[in-house]
Structure 1
Amino acid sequence: MAEQPDGLITIQDYIRWGATRFNRAGLWFGHGTDNALDEAAALVLGGLDLDPGLPVSFRGCRLTPAERVAVTDLIERRVTERVPTAYLIGRAWFAGLRFDVDDQVLVPRSPIAELVEAGFEPWIDGERIGRVLDLCTGSGCIGIAAALFLPDADVDLVDISPAALAVARRNVAHHGVEDRVRVLESNLFDALAGQRYDVIVSNPPYVSAAEFAALPPEYHREPQLGLHGGDDGLDLVLLILLEAARHLTESGILILEVGNSARELEQRLPLVPWTWIEFERGGEGVLLLTREQLVQHQGEFEGA
């Protein structure tokens, strides 16, 4: 149990103290926040089982002795163990929705949330989306959010990791979408023979070996299976590009996050007409291709 600091009484006291501790420790922020104060607020509020949107007026509330101990311990673990806040409090937010997480899944943070909130428009007419595939689903956040923003669509969540799929199932149940969301174990498309979708969306492992080695400690707390994409980061990306067309409807689209491997992908396949999506809230490295484009460039994917 961490030593209790003197003079800290209210929620805001612990947020301020936590932010100071984080700044002095030189922590990395990249799993939902980008600064020490927001990180401390997320950790303290989460540790008290309060939503991040708690009105500011409540931050003057006093913590009980047991709550002070619990929050202090969380702050100390964040500093000494470099564990992402989402793992410490067991939850994260994506597209305005709460999801359970643990260290068997990546912490949700994809800019694809903006596309989901917009029903994937203007890239496809949201009203005619009947089926969505969330490939390499992890916690299930992208696919489950899609099911909630597209109430008439059926969604398949696919991952190779049984441990990740256990988390996804919890989130499916939490959001009450069992009637429209399936959870399937599969190595990419292996278990999806004959299945076609209007939208395939994927945030696969795409971090290169060199980039992975240089990541801050917080990222090494996440499952390597969800991050490491081979020497150049493109091992799974290229497989998805090769196979996606046969699992899309005639007017279907592929949305694929490749992060910092975007430049390598463009250099490897310079003739492909990549559409790189721009996001209002920040983020990059997300491409879009239609089924027609995937078919037209199939030979290049095969040769890559």
Structure 2
Amino acid sequence: MTASPSRLRTLRDYIRWAVSQFHGAHLFFGHGTDNAWDEARQLVLGALHLPWEMSDSYLDCRLEDDECEQLQTLLRRRIEERVPTAYLLGEAWFCGLPFIVDERVLIPRSPIAELIEQRFRPWLPKDPARILDLCTGSGCIGIACAYEFLDAEVVLADLSFDALEVANCNIEQHGLEERVYTVQSDGFDGLPGQRFDLIISNPPYVDAEDFADMPEEYYHEPALGLACGDDGLDLVRRMLAEAADHLTEHGTLIVEVGNSQAHVEALYPEVEFTWLEFAKGGHGVFLLAAKQCREHQALFRERMQRC
């Protein structure tokens, strides 16, 4: 993949050329954009530390030779190695906030962002005092919640020490050290006796069939954050069995399971999950009130042991 620097000299040149190359290489777009133009614009502008919303009149600015070489290198990696743009830039956006990301964590893309921006209306009985972001990865969900609920204490929990290193960098970047902190935890194991008004989780939930069929871009992400057993529910079953012990009396549990929604419904036909809808796209996110978690805890435990 080469292009003559004498012919590609402006931002517009590189974006247009990248779009053509992306289409020709049949790249997959699923880590923040859904089309070649937005992906090319994100990569070209982001690599040069230019804002996404900059006026198109600046796209005709000519680039220096070193800037052209930098873009050539990044575009080559995006096309030939299928590295997602967020990893190439070291940054992703979630709820309008920037987050440090690398291949130790998943790239933020959860539809839960829409719930956070709406302050979870109308689902929360009151503003939560304690929030748990379970399987936090980069910490984006919990940190975004900390921006919406200014008096809340937020715990970011994950099994991966590598992921928690990234989450701690993001806590520091956003200046939230006084009320957001990390805990190493396999499910709820590292949180004995702790209760929360709101537990949110985007856990690994990809079933074996979907994991085998994923586009190449996804294999740059940590498998620990994606795959979780034949039906994708190995961790979700544990979470459901233990959630009642970690919610306050009127607490709320929100969990994303994506395409594994069908497995959840098949495994627990007796449970009236609230499946949330999203105006901006997304699916497979359920809500349970603490009362429901208590009522069905014996069932959840039985199904976990059976599997």
**TM-score normalized by structure 2?**
0.96
Change (3 A) 1:159 1:4: farther
* 2:76 aligned partner, one-letter code: E
Q: How far 1:87 moved relative to its partner?
A: 0.3
Q: Is residue 215 of structure 2 the alignment partner of residue 201 of structure 1? A: no
Q: How far 1:4 moved relative to its partner?
A: 4.0
Q: Find the aligned partners of 1:15 and 1:142 in 2 and give their Cα distance.
A: 31
* 2:201 aligned partner, one-letter code: S
Give me the identity figure in percent: 55
Q: Is residue 139 of structure 2 the alignment partner of residue 140 of structure 1? A: yes
**TM-score normalized by structure 1?**
0.97
Q: Is residue 11 of structure 2 the alignment partner of residue 11 of structure 1? A: yes
**Is the CA contact (8 Å cut-off) linking 1:4 and 1:72 kept in structure 2?**
no
**Is the CA contact (8 Å cut-off) linking 1:199 and 1:253 kept in structure 2?**
yes
| Counterpart position of 1:59 | 59
Q: CA RMSD in A?
A: 1.2
| Counterpart position of 2:219 | 220
Gaps of 5+ in 2: none
| Deviation per residue, 1:16-75 (Å, 9 max, x gap) | 111110000000000000111111111111111223222322222221111111011111
| Counterpart position of 2:115 | 115
| Deviation per residue, 1:175-211 (Å, 9 max, x gap) | 1111110111111111111111110000000001111
Question: Matched residue of 2:254: which SS?
Answer: strand
**Is the CA contact (8 Å cut-off) linking 1:256 and 1:288 kept in structure 2?**
yes
Q: How far 1:82 moved relative to its partner?
A: 0.4
| Counterpart position of 2:78 | 78
**Is the CA contact (8 Å cut-off) linking 2:125 and 2:250 kept in structure 1?**
no
Q: Find the aligned partners of 2:252 and 2:171 in 1 and give their Cα distance.
A: 24
**Is the CA contact (8 Å cut-off) linking 1:43 and 1:89 kept in structure 2?**
yes
Q: Find the aligned partners of 1:189 and 1:45 in 2 and give their Cα distance.
A: 41
| Counterpart position of 1:255 | 254
Gaps of 5+ in 1: none
Matches for 1:1-304 after TM superposition, within 5 Å:
4-126=4-126, 128-304=127-303
Q: How far 1:292 moved relative to its partner?
A: 0.3
**Is the CA contact (8 Å cut-off) linking 2:18 and 2:40 kept in structure 1?**
yes
**Is the CA contact (8 Å cut-off) linking 1:205 and 1:229 kept in structure 2?**
yes
Q: Find the aligned partners of 1:57 and 1:253 in 2 and give their Cα distance.
A: 47
Question: Matched residue of 1:176: which SS?
Answer: coil
